[in-house]
Amino acid sequence: MTLLTVNSGSTSVKLGLYEPGPAGTPLRLGGEQHTGHDLDPSAVLRALAERLRPAPEAVAHRIVHGGTRFVRPTRIDAEVITAIGELSPLAPLHNPQALRWVAAARDLWGIGTPQVAVFDTAFFAHLPRVASEYALPARIGVERGVRRYGFHGLAHESMWRKWCALYPELPQGGRLITLQLGGGCSIAAIDRGRPLDTSMGFSPLEGLVMATRTGDLDAAIVPYLERELALTGDQVIELLNNTSGLAGV
């Protein structure tokens, strides 16, 4: 089976082509990266399809926010697309973009080509309560799903697996700190394959200072900016996501 992977980030997309190799390990046939905020998924995939013969037999998409529902790779259908869209307010730079690539692949290769979503939040689905829960009343935190989800899980898990391969003498890799540094940045603590904590939280806005995102911020700043700048809550979030971080300073 030839598999096309689509890693849609906040500032770029990475495409990879794989087929089964020896002992079932994936063999990378090629790949390419495109950067920019105005990429046209349909145009990029059409150009790729002209060079691909035959067409991929399946497409796998990185989806940043899967909430509490999606904790393992999931076949994409209309219901899954709707659920991913409903999580877009929590990952406005990522989930909507990923859905554009899902739609472009479906339009190009049809519904007969299966598409699968793999979720960045899945690796952190079982964080300890001390790391996953905010100090909020239970009726708001636990019952409303306001918790630390963690992101970049695919990258942190991949780093842990590579560390294990480099140091097989350490039981399941031992204790490890991993860092994902790009347009978005995060840090995670992993104990023998089990995530203990991570810097990103309810959304990919929390944590380290990033390219255009503030990272950690006193919550009182949000209503203050609403009042002082006459902005809506959504406009403040857009400011914190798109024109802050390193771009702001």
User: What would the pLDDT profile of 102-114 be if each residue is shown by its tens digit?
Assistant: 999 999 999 999 9
Q: Thinking of the domain 3-119, which architecture would CATH place it in?
A: 2-Layer Sandwich (3.30)
Residues taking part in catalysis: 120
Dist. CA 117–CA 125, nearest whole Å: 16
Examine domains 3-119 and 129-248 and report if their fold is the same.
Answer: yes
Domain 129-248 sits in CATH 3.30.420.40 = yes
Dist. CA 200–CA 203, nearest whole Å: 7
Contact 210, 184 (CB under 8 A): yes
**pLDDT at site 53:** 76
Dist. CA 188–CA 199, nearest whole Å: 7
Coil/strand/helix, residue 60: strand
**pTM of the predicted structure, to 2 decimals:** 0.86
Contact 90, 119 (CB under 8 A): no
Contact 61, 101 (CB under 8 A): yes
134: which 2 tokens? 């905010």
Dist. CA 223–CA 243, nearest whole Å: 18
**pLDDT at site 140:** 87
- Give residue limits of the domains in the chain: 3-119, 129-248
Distance, first Cα to last Cα, the chain: 47
Judged against a pLDDT cut of 80, whether residue 154 lies above it is answered with yes
Average pLDDT over residues 39-44: 90
